[in-house]
């Protein structure tokens, strides 16, 4: 149970959340024009005459954007609609040059689906997908360049977006965050959206309402354009508490659009944008219905990669990993791929998981690097683990070796060689060290023999120290036991 | 030298081929005619220098034996087609100062075929009108006058400038566009030939949009043969227009020579509208008789839903227009009337930039799409449109073409029918069904009214069967032998 | 069907066309007339006819995902009434 329950003065309130995610489709060109969809360029330089809505210009759809939407639909276990229709959403805005956005209204390309969300307490929850449709992005208005003017850049105008609408199945900010995390992972696995929230290639609107348990849905407020997963959680939690407060003070919730102020952590009404919208949707007469053949859908289905849920299951079954470890490793496709390479080169799935999750992630975190920039390659880490397994180094020494690998990029064998870290497993050599330790600590030997068992650890420590950590710990244990009787 | 501006395209191509005259000479004659025709206000923009330069280039091609399908023929272009480097107005103040950096697909095809551009022709604002009285650039006068009456007449619309220029010999031919009859009705009013092709036959790319699902480009010429020649150049698939259709363009001119014997001509019984003048009815009967003489078989067909076509059209066309015209907002091109907020800028610009008829239609279109009315109006109209298109499909199981009058009246005087929008909309009663069904329609001059004004007959065909339409049109043209010229001729 | 001034004012606002009182009056009258005439369609039985958005009976053509356009900032801005530093310029939009 990860639902947020708010204790108000009149009882316990439940939070109901549905998310609308705008995900930029990964493609070279825009949805209906041949201009580049790449992020960041000179203003109005990635704009075709179609994107600028010059008189007489007409849209022609980008085939890859269609494929990407279908692929995403399949990845969300959703129904693919064989016929979908593009409609015009009519409204005036500075960054909407056509005076309408080409979107999909009554007949979206993707229908209902489901996402399995991994909650912080280790449980999972099914969250329904209402629909996914293709639409054009708007341009960008800059309001801070001039005291009385706004500047308009149409580079984003016409870039393909997928609007992915969830059902109101989420019950807290945490669930919303978990849903977004999972959705983002799926999109990134599929390669249909890079999921970059800072650059705006994934944006989120949250519909939030509150109700007493068992009551029908309350009036919702839409929080627009929240640009990080953390903020989505904060915004929902703030908004839910605000609504409870309003209702308990005798007020009513007005259906409205609100903006999240991330500095103050509050949502604010955007009444200026509210002015009686009537979008007058109608099928775009410049386009024909989009009909998908079974063959096309099957081809796309065949190209689907293994998705996080399936991969997690496989990691648990094939590698014997815990659900938690498997979940961590599959969160990003790069991580899971890295891990599997470590498994291959080390030959030990569990050790590989421990080293990737604990040591590698730790070091990457400290260094602030993504896994793609890890100074230690998967093969190198695998080789190092292999050295633990074949007894060349101990697990403890391995930590030092790994730190050195991370710092210098050298491989394990080179470091072991250079620093003489090879584990001593020679009985004679270890026996000599043990004899020296016993000889130097006769008083402790007497105490041990008199029954002070705890001193055994002292002898192990002294022996390891004298061997500079290189003595094989298992052998040290055994031989000490034999000698001390 | 003969009167060069009196030649049809076909005759001029012969003359050019035989070196009787050059394109430079032909074009110079038209440049003079264009100047002389200024009282008609047919042209919004004259491009004589460009015309003469294009003519020279054409002559050079011809000299090298590289002449093309329309090489050296001076055309007028309806000012709804975007022309690179030449101001394009759509007859609206809101496009004031707009000079496209691109060329429409259809005009590009014409230039690629060697044609010469004389200038941009006046039209009803955004092609909305049936009399060419809504242009910001002033009304266009027909070169015709009623017998014994010197009051100026309308040329029809919206391609009124095109019709007036071609009829007055101020262009050898012109492009038009037809959303509800805008090629055929003015052709009928001015005694010329006008062809609205099948929807999807000509690219709409680069033509200022009025109603996207209805707009279609077509030729306006002085003969059916000329229409066939020009159609062959204008037609063709365009990957830039998602509604353009990818099927081969036939040799329309060659198709004219085929026999019509045994073809069935459908006569829709529902087209006898109340109050239709007797002389229109007589023209229609005459047309049927001519086709019969040529060996065609008249059959009565029923188009039961066509009586709903006009009100249906006046929902669909304004709805699409209200959205298509949203881009004229004073931000990226054209007129801007400042305001202290962006919304004020939009409202001021569009109030000043659009004329009364455009505002009327944008308001109607906005209304019929608005929340609570969509199903009652727009969706209903779309369903009736299906029924109208189905009527034609059924009729074409019984016949090959359909014959109707083009317009319920001859040209009327400027100032008539102007206070009642619905009365004006009735002008399109015979032409609108073809746009709703997407089928081709040709207007051919067939005779004179009792006032001595041209009347036209309309030949409707099956989708993508412009060949048969033109062939039947040629039969009417031959039988009618229409040779009366308007009272005003700009040529020599 | 009669359309009142408030309705006309509302659709004029949606269409971003400023109308003064006289125009509201005029359009209310004209639009009432036109819509009254259109109203005749109410009597038409459309049965199970599908709504038609286009007469074209073919599949939606699709374009390859190749960058073939853009890089024409000059053309894009060529006709603009007000520009600065490569941007279109409008009165400040207050969010």
Q: Which residue, among C10, C55, C67, would best test binding to A if mutated, counting the most A CBs under 10 Å from its CB?
A: C67
pLDDT digits (tens, 9 = 90+) for A230-241: 999 999 999 999
Lowest mean pLDDT among A308-312, A414-418, B318-322: A414-418
Give residue ranges of B with CB < 8 Å to any A CB: 81-82, 88, 90, 95, 98, 100-102, 104, 204-209, 211-213, 239-243, 319-320, 322-323, 325-327, 329, 331-333, 342-343, 346, 366, 369-371, 374, 378
Say what percent of chain B tops pLDDT 70: 99
| pLDDT-based confidence at residue B418 (cuts at 50, 70, 90) | low
Contact B102 A278 (CB under 8 A): no
Query: What DSSP character marks residue C49?
Result: P
Residue B492 confidence (pLDDT) above 70: no
| pLDDT-based confidence at residue B104 (cuts at 50, 70, 90) | very high
Query: What DSSP character marks residue A281?
Result: -
pLDDT digits (tens, 9 = 90+) for B219-234: 999 999 999 999 999 9
pLDDT digits (tens, 9 = 90+) for A303-335: 999 999 999 999 999 999 999 999 999 998 899
pLDDT digits (tens, 9 = 90+) for A352-410: 999 999 999 999 999 999 999 999 999 999 999 998 888 888 888 889 899 999 999 89
Phi, psi for residue B426 in degrees, rounded to 5: -65, -20
Q: Determine how β-strand B74-78 pairs with β-strand B173-178.
A: parallel
pLDDT digits (tens, 9 = 90+) for B350-362: 999 999 999 999 9
pLDDT digits (tens, 9 = 90+) for B321-344: 999 999 999 999 999 999 999 999
Residues of chain B with Cβ-Cβ distance to C54 below 8 Å are 213, 243
Q: Determine how β-strand A61-62 pairs with β-strand C62-63.
A: parallel
| pLDDT-based confidence at residue A225 (cuts at 50, 70, 90) | confident
pLDDT digits (tens, 9 = 90+) for B254-272: 999 999 999 999 999 998 8
**Residue A79 CA: distances (Å) to CA of A115, A133, A190, B370:** 13, 12, 17, 30
Query: What DSSP character marks residue B117?
Result: E
Residue A84 confidence (pLDDT) above 90: yes
pLDDT value of residue B430:
95
**In the predicted model, what is the mean pLDDT of chain A?**
92
Output B492 or A102, whichever has higher pLDDT: A102
Residue A275 confidence (pLDDT) above 60: no
Report residue B234 as tokens.
């204008």
| pLDDT-based confidence at residue B2 (cuts at 50, 70, 90) | low
Residue whose tokens read 């000490």: A480
pLDDT digits (tens, 9 = 90+) for B107-128: 999 999 999 999 999 999 999 9
**Residue B321 neighbours by CB under 8 Å, 6+ apart:** B126, B128, B210, B211, B358, B361, B362, B365
pLDDT digits (tens, 9 = 90+) for A8-18: 888 999 999 99
- Domain span at B188: 9-245
pLDDT value of residue A32:
98
Contact A99 B211 (CB under 8 A): no
Topology (CATH level 3) of domain C5-42: Histone, subunit A (1.10.20)
Burial of A246 (0-12, 13-18, 19+ CB in 10 A): middle
Residue A62 has its nearest CB partner, among C65, C90, C91, at C65
Report the gap between the CA of A29 and the closest CA in chain B (Å): 15
Specify whether the CB–CB gap between B219 and B195 falls below 8 A: yes
Strands (E) in B198-355, as ranges, are 216-221, 264-268, 297-301
Residue B370 has its nearest CB partner, among A54, A57, A278, at A278
Say what percent of chain A tops pLDDT 70: 98
Q: Is the dihedral of CA B281, B284, B285, B286 positive or negative?
A: positive
| pLDDT-based confidence at residue A276 (cuts at 50, 70, 90) | low
Catalytic residues of B: 78, 158, 182
Which C-chain residues 21-40 have CB contacts (< 8 A) with chain B? 27, 30-31, 33-35, 37-38, 40
In a domain, B417, yes or no: no
Report residue A270 as tokens.
């955007």
Report residue A74 as tokens.
């399949």
Q: What's the CATH code of the domain at B221?
A: 3.90.1300.10
Phi, psi for residue B167 in degrees, rounded to 5: -65, -35
pLDDT digits (tens, 9 = 90+) for B162-218: 999 999 999 999 999 999 999 999 999 999 999 999 999 999 999 999 999 999 999
Specify whether the CB–CB gap between A248 and A214 falls below 8 A: no
pLDDT value of residue A271:
65
pLDDT value of residue C95:
60
Report the gap between the CA of A409 and the closest CA in chain C (Å): 39
Report the gap between the CA of C11 and the closest CA in chain B (Å): 6
pLDDT digits (tens, 9 = 90+) for B448-475: 999 999 999 999 999 999 999 999 999 9
| Mean per-residue pLDDT, B132-140 | 96
CA distance B40 to B34: 10
Report residue B471 as tokens.
């062939």
Helix (H, G, I), strand (E, B) or coil at B46: strand
Residues of chain A with Cβ-Cβ distance to B367 below 8 Å are none
Residue B242 has its nearest CB partner, among A58, A100, A152, at A58
Chains in touch with A (≥3 Cβ pairs < 8 A) = B, C
| Mean per-residue pLDDT, A468-476 | 83
Query: What DSSP character marks residue B397?
Result: T
| Helices B224-234 and B9-17, axial angle in degrees (round to 10) | 80
Output A422 or A248, whichever has higher pLDDT: A248
Q: Which domains does chain A have, with CATH numbers?
A: 5-300 (no CATH), 324-419 (no CATH), 427-484 (1.10.10.410)
What is the count of structural domains for chain B? 1
Q: What is the ipTM of this complex?
A: 0.97
**Residue A141 neighbours by CB under 8 Å, 6+ apart:** A94, A95, A150, A151, A152, C93
All structural domains of chain C with their residue ranges: 5-42
In a domain, B444, yes or no: no
Burial of A405 (0-12, 13-18, 19+ CB in 10 A): buried
Residues of chain C with Cβ-Cβ distance to A71 below 8 Å are none
Specify whether the CB–CB gap between A97 and B334 falls below 8 A: no
pLDDT value of residue A425:
76
Contact B384 C44 (CB under 8 A): yes
Contact C14 B339 (CB under 8 A): no
Report the gap between the CA of A287 and the closest CA in chain B (Å): 6
Q: Which ranges constitute the DSSP H helices of A4-62? A: none
pLDDT value of residue C64:
98
Specify whether the CB–CB gap between A238 and A40 falls below 8 A: no
Q: What is the pTM of this model?
A: 0.92
pLDDT digits (tens, 9 = 90+) for C8-25: 999 999 999 999 999 999
pLDDT value of residue C78:
97
């Amino acid at each position: 149970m990860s639902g947020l329950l708010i204790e108000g003065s009149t009882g316990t309130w439940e939070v109901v959340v549905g998310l609308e995610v705008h995900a930029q489709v990964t493609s070279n060109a825009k949805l209906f024009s041949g201009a580049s969809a790449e992020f960041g360029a000179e203003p109005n330089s990635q704009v075709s005459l179609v994107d600028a809505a010059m008189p007489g210009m007409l849209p022609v759809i980008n085939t890859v954007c269609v494929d990407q939407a279908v692929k995403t639909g399949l990845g969300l276990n959703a129904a693919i609609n064989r016929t979908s229709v593009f409609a015009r959403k009519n409204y005036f805005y500075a960054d909407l040059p056509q005076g309408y956005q080409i979107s999909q209204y009554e007949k979206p390309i993707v229908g209902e689906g489901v996402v399995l969300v991994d909650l912080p307490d280790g449980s999972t929850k099914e969250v329904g997908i209402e629909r996914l449709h293709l639409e054009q992005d708007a341009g960008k208005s800059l309001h801070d360049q001039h005291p009385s003017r706004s500047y308009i850049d149409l580079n984003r105008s016409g870039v393909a977006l997928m609007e992915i609408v969830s059902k109101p199945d989420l019950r807290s900010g945490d669930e919303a965050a978990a849903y977004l995390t999972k959705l983002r992972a799926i999109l990134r696995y599929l390669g249909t959206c890079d999921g970059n929230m800072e650059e705006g290639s994934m944006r989120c609107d949250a519909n939030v309402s509150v109700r007493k348990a068992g009551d029908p849905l309350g009036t919702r407020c839409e929080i627009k354009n929240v640009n990080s997963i953390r903020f989505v959680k904060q915004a929902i939690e703030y908004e839910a508490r605000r609504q409870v407060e309003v209702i308990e003070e005798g007020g009513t919730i007005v259906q409205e659009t609100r903006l999240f102020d991330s500095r103050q952590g509050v949502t604010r009404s955007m009444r200026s944008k509210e002015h009686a919208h009537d979008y007058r949707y109608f099928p775009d007469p410049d386009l024909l219905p989009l009909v998908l053949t079974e063959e096309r859908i099957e081809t796309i289905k065949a190209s689907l990669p293994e998705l996080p849920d399936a991969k997690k299951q496989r990691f648990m079954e094939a590698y014997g990993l815990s659900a938690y470890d498997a979940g961590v490793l599959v969160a990003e496709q790069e991580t899971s791929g890295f891990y599997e390479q470590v498994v291959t080169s080390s030959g030990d799935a569990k050790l590989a998981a421990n080293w990737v999750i604990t040591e590698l992630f730790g070091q990457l975190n400290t260094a602030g690097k993504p896994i793609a920039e890890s100074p230690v390659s998967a093969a190198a880490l695998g080789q190092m683990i292999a050295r633990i397994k074949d007894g060349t180094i101990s697990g403890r020494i391995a930590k030092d070796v790994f730190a050195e690998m991370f710092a210098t990029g050298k491989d394990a064998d080179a470091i072991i060689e250079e620093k003489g870290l090879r584990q001593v497993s020679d009985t004679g050599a270890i026996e000599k060290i043990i004899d020296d330790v016993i000889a130097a600590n006769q008083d402790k030997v007497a105490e041990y023999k008199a029954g002070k068992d705890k001193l055994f650890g002292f002898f192990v420590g002294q022996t390891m120290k004298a061997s500079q950590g290189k003595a094989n710990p298992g052998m040290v244990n055994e031989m000490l036991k034999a000698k001390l009787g | 030298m003969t009167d060069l501006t009196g030649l049809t395209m076909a005759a001029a191509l012969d003359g050019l081929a035989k070196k009787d005259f050059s394109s430079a000479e032909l074009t110079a004659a038209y440049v003079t005619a264009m100047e002389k025709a200024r009282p008609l206000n047919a042209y919004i923009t004259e491009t004589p220098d460009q015309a003469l330069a294009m003519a020279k280039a054409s002559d050079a091609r011809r000299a090298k034996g590289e002449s093309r399908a329309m090489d050296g023929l001076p055309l007028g272009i309806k000012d709804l087609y975007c022309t690179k480097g030449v101001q394009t107005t759509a007859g609206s103040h809101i496009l004031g100062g707009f000079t496209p950096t691109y060329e429409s697909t259809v005009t590009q095809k014409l230039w690629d075929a060697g044609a010469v551009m004389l200038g941009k022709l006046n039209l009803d604002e955004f092609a909305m009108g049936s009399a060419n009285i809504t242009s910001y650039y002033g009304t266009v006068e027909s070169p015709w006058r009623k017998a014994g009456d010197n009051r100026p007449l309308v040329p029809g619309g919206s391609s009124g400038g095109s019709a007036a220029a071609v009829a007055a010999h101020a262009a050898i031919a012109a492009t038009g566009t037809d959303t509800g009859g805008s090629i055929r009705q003015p052709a009928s009013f001015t005694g010329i030939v006008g062809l609205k092709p099948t929807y999807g036959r000509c690219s709409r790319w680069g033509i200022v949009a009025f109603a996207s699902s209805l707009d279609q480009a077509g030729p306006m010429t002085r003969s059916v043969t000329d229409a066939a020649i020009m159609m062959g150049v204008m037609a063709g698939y365009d990957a830039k227009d998602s509604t353009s259709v990818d099927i081969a363009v036939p040799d329309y001119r060659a198709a004219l020579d085929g026999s019509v014997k045994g073809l069935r001509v459908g006569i829709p019984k529902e087209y006898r509208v109340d109050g239709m003048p007797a002389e229109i009815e007589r023209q229609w009967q005459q047309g049927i008789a001519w086709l019969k003489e040529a060996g065609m078989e008249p059959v009565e067909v029923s188009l039961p839903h066509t009586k709903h076509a006009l009100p249906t059209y006046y929902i669909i066309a304004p709805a699409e227009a209200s959205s298509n015209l949203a881009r004229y907002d004073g931000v990226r091109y054209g007129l801007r009337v400042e305001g202290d907020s962006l919304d004020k800028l939009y409202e001021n610009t569009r109030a000043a930039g659009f004329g009364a008829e455009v505002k009327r239609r944008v308001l109607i279109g906005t209304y019929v799409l608005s929340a609570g009315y969509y199903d009652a109006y727009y969706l209903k109209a779309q369903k009736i449109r299906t029924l109208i298109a189905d009527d034609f499909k059924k009729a074409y199981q019984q016949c090959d073409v359909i014959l109707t009058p083009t317009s319920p009246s001859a040209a009327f005087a400027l100032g008539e029918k102007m206070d009642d929008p619905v009365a004006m909309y009735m002008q399109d009663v015979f032409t609108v069904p073809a746009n709703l069904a997407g089928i081709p329609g040709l207007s051919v001059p067939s005779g004179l009214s009792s006032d001595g004004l041209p009347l036209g007959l309309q030949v409707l065909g099956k989708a993508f069967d412009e060949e048969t339409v033109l062939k039947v049109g040629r039969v009417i043209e031959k039988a009618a032998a229409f040779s009366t010229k308007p009272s005003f001729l700009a040529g020599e | 069907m009669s359309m009142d001034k408030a309705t006309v004012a509302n659709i004029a606002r949606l269409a971003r066309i400023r109308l003064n009182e006289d125009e509201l009056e005029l359009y209310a009258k004209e639009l009432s007339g036109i819509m009254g005439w259109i109203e005749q369609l109410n009597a038409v039985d459309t049965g199970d006819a599908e709504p038609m958005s286009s007469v074209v009976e073919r599949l939606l053509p699709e374009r390859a995902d190749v960058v073939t356009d853009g890089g024409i900032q000059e053309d894009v801005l060529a006709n603009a009434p007000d520009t600065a530093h490569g941007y279109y310029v409008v009165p400040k939009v207050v969010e």
